Structure 1
Amino acid sequence: MLIRYSADDKGRPIKKALIYTKDEHGITQDKIDPDALFILKQLQDYGFSAYIVGGAVRDLLVHKTPKDFDIVTDATPSKIKKIFRNSRIIGRRFRLVHVFFGSKIFEVSTFRSICDGTVGNRFGTMDEDVQRRDFTLNALYYDPLKEQIIDYVGGVKDIRKGIIRPVIPLKQIFEEDPVRMLRAVKYAATTGCKMPWTLKRKIQKSAHLLSPVSPSRLTEELLKIINSGHAYEIVKFAMEVDVYMCLQPAATALMYENSSFREKYFQHLKEMDAFQREHPDSRLGDKLIYLIYDFAASLTDWKAEVEYNSAASELYVQTWAQCRNFVLPMNPQRTELEYAIRSVLKQLGVSVRIPKKAFSPAKKTGEETPEIKKRPKKVNQSREDKSSRNKQIDTVLKTGKLKRQATPVAL
């Protein structure tokens, strides 16, 4: 094992990082995506440092095949763009580069500074960048060309011990970015690493911080869970630490109130995971079926309703509206949710043809919009949705039991 040193204010050497060699970490180059290796080699040939970072290093250490290879470098986004023509700079506030190889996308980011805290966006050094990482198991830098892992925070030992330990102090880690709680939950549910009691308790006390997080960020995190193939384990742990109420408040409400619904919901999560593992490239609508099935099935006696009610379009529009509210704050593509709802109705033995006049084209997006009633302005609508979600979350935090704000309309 090698040791990287730096000097203190008086010029005395202090240990800064451990460097694990190939014999110690056991990772071989054949485990690395050849296109990721090409990116690393190109950056280093141009005089920049470049490393594989994050979950890929963690997976390689425990002999798993990484899904993604994220790369970090001291090259700025504009310089990365000049090196790779098959790339694009993305992000306004947090700029990074996507490098394309066919259908594969590699994320290449620049070392970040800590001068603005752990959520700032200034470029910095590797020594600063590691202090911005959320947990030690995610704070390892691997150079496959030199076959070395650079460990500033004891991440290798924590992975081998199976412990999730934060890099950032507990008093500020979730206050600065509440979404880190969701990452901790995912790590605990999918890596086999244990979450210390102090971290678990901190998440439970900080769950309310997820309330003001934008629906777009929560949607992004939910989609990651849905596509992970481990949604059951993640949701189960998220319920345990009281954060699922912020991701899916309506589903959490029903699970607190109805043990039968809870069992069915979890069973369908298991089935969704099996489907995702078998069909990793399936469309989102196929997986939304598993999330909304039990709720949609409980709305009414569908066969009797269709026989009695000839207004098929109105029946569908009401179902769409309630399912849309059920998955809030997640905001999936309208076409995917419509696909899921129609598939669920078909499985329930209901064949509903939707006349074109049941929808009117949206002015800007070109999407179809249900003609239920005159829609309020988008800004006011989002405020109402957010206020409703906050009230549900506050109820759970205060009483431990979430009551539904409204009973589904009998269709």
Structure 2
Amino acid sequence: MGGNINYMKIFISEKLNNLAKSCTFPLYAVGGCVRDALAGLKSSGDVDICAPVSAEAFVAAAEKAGAKINAVYKNTGTVKLSFGEEGYEFASFRSDSYVRGVHTPVNTFFTDDIMLDARRRDFKCNAVYYDIKAENIVDPLGGIEDIRAARISTVAEAEKVFGEDGLRLMRLARQAAQLNFTPTDECLDGAKSNARLAADVAPERIYAELDEILHADLRYGLKYAQYRGLKILDETRVLDVILPELTDGRGMKQNEKFHLYDVLEHSLRAVKYSDPSVRLASLLHDVGKPVRMRADGNYHSHESESARVAADICARFKVPKKTSAEVVTLCALHMYDLRCDARESKVRRFIVDNLAVFDKLLLVKQADYSGCRDDLSEAPAVTKFKAIYADMVRENVPLTCAALHVRGDELIAAGVEKRNVGDILHMLLHECVTHNICNERKALIKRALSINASGIHMNKQSFN
């Protein structure tokens, strides 16, 4: 299937267009950029290009057109090039063969047959080509029909396509979510029967795809796209392979007074309603519940278990350390004052002790609340915490030790033991935010000397 489609030039830059016109062979744009244009979606700006020539032949043409060649991979016929800030990846037409489930092909055969090149891809919607010079669409496998139907089907038998590359299992969920395309039954069945192959993919590659699924709504602005992606991982049972700790909660009932869903579905719905900045924490906030249920027959103190399990998951996926630490902390704290019965003085101390994650903790609490019964009203605990924090700001109480009107060196000069300074500063902060003492230098030094003399050592988690 082919045809003229002038608006495809929208995402073809002048420099790329000039390169195509200078080539003695047809140069095609392919993949997501073509799919998105045909679907009427905003292009990400990434344009993959290909042609029925060798990498060496393409490099010669590209250099003649003024491109900078950044890398050449002759084994796969891949070239990375740029025109200033414009970057592109070129691939020679090829056909690949795989060892079952392994992401990297074991053999690559170069060809001038566009049908063979299309067959090496994953989904038909990604196998539509745009001949830049001829301004013509080439559709070897009927991908345009899939795009028009908002459908995902595989370029060959689904069993074969997913059996070749386990990462395609994740790509299916991600692209279905981002595009709001529906996979065909054959596609889903093929993914499900090959779900175990996700275990053969490097964990960091799995996490990269999972992270995109968790933020799928941001790609094209499609509401709840992240939830759709997770549900496809659940339906195909790929989720069982990549996050067995999470899917242990499937079918695990919760208190019907507060919950409409089992532990797994609640976690997925928490992601559905969560702010993009706390999606991973929202996904894992209750991951300790199955452990506690098996051990004790209840969910008591599941938040500490969730933090432990979340740390293991983040380590396995090689999540960046800063993100991992934040997720673990949010999981550990998400249950604090759930019933809104903590005294205000305790909440004030809790806020300053966890100021670094306070805003995100409120977002996780809200996601947790909304995921229980699909209630989008503000969570009572969030309302309470916001009001107390607003009062603290209005009262101009110090929120950090740095905001105290005394420094550590001043305490040492006044006679406070150096080894006690950190703890005493923190205790002074607690007393200031609860109005037990004014944030005034003389009063702070006097109180610090009293604490030092008494030998009191504060517990920074005294809100528990």
> Shorter chain as normaliser: what TM range?
0.5 to 0.7
Runs of 5+ consecutive residues of structure 2 not aligned to the other structure: 218-224, 254-260, 293-302, 337-349, 356-463
Q: What residue number does 2:11 align with? A: 32
Q: What residue number does 1:71 align with? A: 49
Deviations 1:224-262 (A, max 9, x none): 323422321100122112111122221121244354533
Give, in whole Å, the separation in 2 of the partners of 1:62 and 1:241: 26
Give, in whole Å, the separation in 2 of the partners of 1:264 and 1:256: 11
SS, match of residue 94 in structure 2: coil
Q: Is the 8 A contact 2:32 2:126 kept in 1?
A: yes
Q: Is the 8 A contact 1:215 1:329 kept in 2?
A: yes
SS, match of residue 57 in structure 1: helix
Cα gap change, 1:202 to 1:219, in 2 (>3 Å): same
Q: What residue number does 1:243 align with? A: 238
How many Å apart are 1:32 and its aligned residue?
0.9
Q: What residue number does 1:326 align with? A: 313
Matches within 5 A, 1:87-106: 87-89=69-71, 94=76, 96-100=78-82, 105-106=87-88
Q: Is the 8 A contact 1:247 1:330 kept in 2?
A: no
Q: What residue number does 2:3 align with? A: 20
Cα gap change, 1:323 to 1:116, in 2 (>3 Å): closer
SS, match of residue 80 in structure 2: strand
Is 1:275 the counterpart of 2:253? The answer is no
SS, match of residue 109 in structure 1: strand
Amino acid at match of 1:291: L
Deviations 1:252-277 (A, max 9, x none): 212443545334422332245x537x
Give, in whole Å, the separation in 1 of the partners of 2:184 and 2:265: 28
Give, in whole Å, the separation in 1 of the partners of 2:263 and 2:97: 48
Q: What residue number does 2:28 align with? A: 51
Cα gap change, 1:239 to 1:299, in 2 (>3 Å): closer
Deviations 1:127-176 (A, max 9, x none): 42112122221111012442210011122223223433322233422222
SS, match of residue 154 in structure 2: coil
Q: What residue number does 1:393 align with? A: none
Amino acid at match of 1:170: A
Q: What residue number does 1:358 align with? A: none
Amino acid at match of 1:56: C
Give, in whole Å, the separation in 2 of the partners of 1:320 and 1:162: 39
How many Å apart are 1:94 and its aligned residue?
4.5
Q: What residue number does 1:130 align with? A: 118
Cα gap change, 1:150 to 1:265, in 2 (>3 Å): same
Is 1:142 the counterpart of 2:144? The answer is no
SS, match of residue 282 in structure 2: helix
Q: Is the 8 A contact 1:134 1:180 kept in 2?
A: yes
Q: What residue number does 1:292 align with? A: 284
Runs of 5+ consecutive residues of structure 1 not aligned to the other structure: 1-17, 277-285, 301-314, 354-410
How many Å apart are 1:43 and its aligned residue?
4.4
Q: Is the 8 A contact 1:114 1:128 kept in 2?
A: no
- Of all paired residues, the percent bearing the same amino acid is 22
Amino acid at match of 2:147: I
How many Å apart are 1:87 and its aligned residue?
4.5
Q: What residue number does 2:195 align with? A: 207
How many Å apart are 1:86 and its aligned residue?
4.2
How many Å apart are 1:79 and its aligned residue?
5.5
How many Å apart are 1:290 and its aligned residue?
3.0
TM-score normalised by L of structure 1: 0.62
Cα gap change, 1:19 to 1:335, in 2 (>3 Å): same
CA RMSD of the aligned region, Å? Answer: 3.9
Which has the greater radius of gyration?
2
How many Å apart are 1:334 and its aligned residue?
2.1
SS, match of residue 283 in structure 2: helix
Q: Is the 8 A contact 1:204 1:242 kept in 2?
A: yes
Q: What residue number does 2:448 align with? A: none
Q: Is the 8 A contact 2:34 2:128 kept in 1?
A: yes
